[in-house]
Structure 1
Amino acid sequence: MDDARNRLVDAAEACFTRFGVAKTTLEDIATEAGVSRATVYRYFEGGRDEIILGVVLREGREFLASLDRRVQREQTLEDAIVEGVMYTVAAVRKNDHLALLFAPEVAGHTTSIAGASTALYELTQDFLRPIFEQAGTSGQLRDGIYSEDAAEFVLRMILSLLSVAGPRKRSQAKEREFLRRYCAGAIVRS
């Protein structure tokens, strides 16, 4: 991302924090960046939706770098899956810009969430795929499990945990046990 686009994404982040996503206008972002609306459109032809996508993707890239450091500490693939899911869910809930994908205030107000979801999905798939490819090569995956599908399954588990509050509340220990049995257990050879 070039400097001008980065400055506009910075301005959008500041406006989202100040006004909320649903109430932030393109004019707000232009004013915060000290540019005209035309300048914003020059760098983000899709307008506000494209800027929201830019915010989410930049945060997503930064998050995946921290997730990589986190899962590299784990000794087993099973532990990396469980701890990676736990870390991701907690981090997204704390990160206002990544949480945009799941915010009720945004749903229905913008088409950017669909684009952000797709782009973030692809970014995450690109992160997870090599982990599962290596696991498949080393015989750690259950028979019939393909790396691409395993990456999608873990991502869908994360998305489900982020978007659906229930039906049960679990302690962190019980959540780990649940993920170990049903998420990692579906993928990793025992």
Structure 2
Amino acid sequence: MPADRLDEVLDATYECLTRYGVRRTTMDDIASAMGVSRSAVYQYVRGKDDAFRRLAGRLHDRALTQARRAAADQDASCATRIRGVLEAKFDLVLQLSGDSPHTAELLDEQARLFAGICTGFTTDLRSLLTALFAEAGTAGPVTPAQAADICLALVVGLESVPAGTHLLRPASDALLTGLLGAPVEASR
């Protein structure tokens, strides 16, 4: 299966999602957005649910790649690497909440179609953060896994605040200073 044609299907699926939402999008809508027949779309996906699952997977995979890249940057401090992981999660939310009211459906951990993808994404981010905190060491009785959970909770909280974009960096700096037990370099 040519990956570029699958990408076209997923791009068309995203376009339909922004217009109609998951429930109201049909395979005909996806085919129309691509300018092909419905049967042509079925060559790449099994149906609408498969198209949306693959789309959600692609978007979460891109964010996870960004997070892994940040976590692996050995030239950066642990605090900067942790911030990079948090920013990858936040960037995904900003992208999906900004394009349309419907696109946020891809973030719903309770949704039948996306629950496994969203949960897996969060689990992978938690693992990256736990490893970074284990490497850096945490202050006091906080374990690396608890520090990871606290950081993820911060991002989830900021996702619901209109000024969250402007608060992520200073909030993560303050939180990391406490979790790491030493002042971190302020981010810009």
TM-score by length of 1: 0.63
Q: CA deviation at 1:61?
A: 1.0
Shift of 1:58: 0.1
Matched residue, 1:29: 30
Counterpart in the other structure of 2:161: 165
- Whole-Å separation in 2 of the counterparts to 1:73 and 1:61: 22
Q: CA deviation at 1:39?
A: 6.3
Listed as ranges, the gaps of 5+ residues in structure 2 are: 183-188
- AA at the equivalent of 2:124: D
Q: Is the 8 A contact 1:132 1:151 kept in 2?
A: yes
Structure-2 separation of matches of 1:42 and 1:177:
44
* CA–CA distance in structure 2, aligned partners of residues 161 and 112 of structure 1: 17
| SS of the residue 2:174 aligns to | helix
Identity of aligned residues (%): 17
**Paired residues of 1:8 and 1:40 also in contact (CA < 8 A):** no
Which of the pair has the greater relative contact order for Cα pairs under 8 Å at 6+ separation? 1
Using the TM superposition, name which of 111-120 and 25-34 deviates more.
111-120
Q: Which residue of 1 aligns with 2:137?
A: 140
CA distance 1:135–1:159, shift in 2 (3 Å) = closer
Instruction: Give the corresponding residue for 1:155.
Output: 152
Q: What CA RMSD, in Å, does the superposition of the two structures yield over aligned residues? A: 4.0
Residue from 103, 120, 123 that aligns with 2:121: 123
State how far apart, in whole Å, the 2-side matches of 1:10 and 1:127 are.
25
2:110, 2:43 → 1: CA distance? 19
Cα drift, residue 57 of structure 1: 1.5
CA offsets per residue over residues 26-78 of structure 1, 9 Å max, x none?
2211344534369649944xx43442232122012122223333452763222
Which of 97, 103, 111 in structure 2 is aligned with 1:99?
97
Given that 2:17 and 2:103 are in contact with CA atoms closer than 8 Å, whether structure 1 keeps it comes out as: no
Paired residue secondary structure (1:75): coil
SS of match in other structure, 1:165: coil
Do the aligned partners of residues 55 and 186 (structure 1) sit closer, same or farther apart at CA in structure 2, a change above 3 Å counting? farther
The equivalent of 1:58 in structure 2 is: 58
Separation of aligned partners in 2, 1:189 and 1:2: 50
**Partners of 1:145 and 1:187 within 8 A in 2:** no
Distance 1:87 1:9, change over 3 A: closer
The residue matched to 1:21 in structure 2 has which SS? helix
**2-side partners of 1:25 and 1:75: how far apart?**
46
Q: Cα 1:87–1:126, aligned 2, differ >3 Å: closer, same or farther?
A: closer
Could you tell me which runs of 5 or more consecutive residues in structure 1 were left unpaired when the two chains were aligned. none
Aligned to 1:11: 12
